Amino acid sequence: MVYFVELNKDNEAHSSLNYSMIKVLALKYEDITVFSSKRHFKAIGLDEHDLKRVLFKSIRVIDGNWTCWFTKVLRESFNVYTIFRAAKRESVQLIYISSIFPISHPFFKVIKKLFPGIRVIVGLHGEMEFLKDTKSRKLRFLGWFLKGGFKIVDQSVKYLVFGAIIKENLSGYSVPSQSSLLSIDHPYDYRTVSIGTEKRSNNLQLGTIGIGSINKRTQNLFLLADYFKAEVLSNRLSFNLIGTMLPDLEKFVNSYVQTNGFNTILSKKEFERKIFDLHYSLFFYDNEFYSLCASGAFFDAIKFEKPILALKNDYFTYYFNRLGNIGYLFDDLNAMKSKINEILLGNYQTEYQEQVENLQRAKLQLSIEKIADDFFSQFNGSKF
């Protein structure tokens, strides 16, 4: 038996990843018990076949970070202790924790010391960027707890990162140790989505996917749109921010980018429909904040077969080298502007089709089955 635990997310965040990780584990383990909030379990969207093999147990999960962090840490610690006690009674083979709040991390490791016989794998996500030196007091605070958790050594706890390049980049940090890390490609829910509409717009649709923020350098989207404002106003070109826009972008916002306003969370259906309408996906991530975590939005672009226009960083360079021509990487924003101008001239259809076909092949290369083979190969080969 395996326990799958989501301590940190209460709604749709991580739902696609968690669906895919449950599918990975199900290829080896017959019995899986999922601990999460009711809302999150519904968002995961397991089909009838999966539900026959999965037992769901509801736990209370507190979403949000700063406004309720003390209560959140208490709740996560309580959930960890309760779940570990149940795992000991049921002789559970493995507990997979999808995500945990950074401040809860050292408390989880202390509680784990009370249950030495239980093997645990913890998924690591964007919080790994808090390991870097940063001017933000809040991020330094989170990073201090995260590092503290890593420093509590437990040979029966491993960590999972989503991309070999992330594990490689982490080798330059004192924690976590390389021996404690497993790395796989980011598993994703590539099930066919029925949108129910057809593209009606003749203009070129470009857009970012996911949360828009300074950390993700989304201000470049507004700078790009301002540069092409004549094309936007003449309806030849459209720029879109598909996802939640954070208030730190306020001073960059202009009327040339279509958004849903600040802090608006799109439904999954609306989010997917808007991605479906794009021709190209845009990414502006750099290594300052995006060298130690995977990009779920990158895999949204693969799922919906949207060729990518991106500024170079380690993560995108790694996957472009692996997957072939799936779009264009640029050294700077000026180079991206030049390519968009070329595309507007209409001389891109043949290469565009090649990129779409490569994205279709990428979904096969990154299938659940192949990722599961890699995961269990590392799992069985680790001293655990």
Tell me, letter by letter, the H, E, C secondary structure of 15-26: HHHHHHHHHHHH
What distances in angstroms separate CA 12 from CA 39, 222, 313, one per listed residue?
8, 27, 27
CB atoms within 10 A of CB 30: 8
Q: What is the DSSP letter of 261?
A: -
312 domain residue, yes or no:
yes
Residue with tokens 């595309």: 343
- Nearest CA to 197 among 264, 303, 298, 269? 269
Number of domains making up the chain:
2
Q: Pull the structure tokens for residue 52.
A: 């026959």
The pLDDT assigned to 192 comes to 77
The pLDDT assigned to 230 comes to 97
Structural domain boundaries, residue 352: 204-365
Is 336 in the same domain as 297?
yes
How far apart (Å, rounded) are the C-alpha atoms in residues 102 and 66?
12
* 3-state class (DSSP) for residue 173: coil
What value does the mean pLDDT take over residues 189-207? 74
Min mean pLDDT across 96-110, 158-172, 198-212, 324-338 is at 198-212
Is 235 in the same domain as 131?
no
CA dihedral 352, 354, 356, 359 (to 10 degrees): -140
pLDDT tier at 66 (50, 70, 90 boundaries)?
A: low
194 domain residue, yes or no:
no
Is 215 in the same domain as 73?
no
Give the whole-number percent of the chain exceeding pLDDT 70. Answer: 97
Terminal-residue alpha carbon distance, the chain: 17
Is 148 in the same domain as 247?
no
Residue 197 confidence (pLDDT) above 60: no
What value does the mean pLDDT take over residues 14-18? 92
Return the half-sphere exposure (C-beta side, CA atoms, 13 A cut-off) of residue 257.
28
Residue with tokens 């380690």: 314
199 domain residue, yes or no:
no
Is 65 in the same domain as 35?
yes
Is 255 in the same domain as 375?
no
Is 184 in the same domain as 215?
no
Min mean pLDDT across 192-201, 298-307, 351-360 is at 192-201
What value does the mean pLDDT take over residues 129-139? 80
* 3-state class (DSSP) for residue 279: coil
Residue 178: CB partners within 8 Å, gap ≥ 6? 167, 170, 171
The pLDDT assigned to 281 comes to 98
Contact 183, 166 (CB under 8 A): yes
196 domain residue, yes or no:
no
How far apart (Å, rounded) are the C-alpha atoms in residues 75 and 276?
38
Q: What is the pLDDT of residues 280-330, one digit of tens each?
A: 999 999 888 778 989 899 999 999 999 999 999 999 999 999 999 999 999
Is 320 in the same domain as 376?
no
Residue 194: CB partners within 8 Å, gap ≥ 6? none
What value does the mean pLDDT take over residues 239-266? 93
pTM, entire model: 0.91
Residue 227 confidence (pLDDT) above 60: yes
Contact 20, 369 (CB under 8 A): no
274 domain residue, yes or no:
yes
- Nearest CA to 344 among 200, 224, 205? 205
Is 79 in the same domain as 141?
yes
Is 259 in the same domain as 153?
no
pLDDT tier at 267 (50, 70, 90 boundaries)?
A: confident
| Cα angle value 42/19/193 (rounded, 5°) | 85
148 domain residue, yes or no:
yes
The pLDDT assigned to 84 comes to 98
CB atoms within 10 A of CB 315: 24
Is 58 in the same domain as 144?
yes
The pLDDT assigned to 138 comes to 81
84 domain residue, yes or no:
yes
Is 241 in the same domain as 95?
no
CATH of residue 244's domain is 3.40.50.2000
Residue-level length of the chain = 384
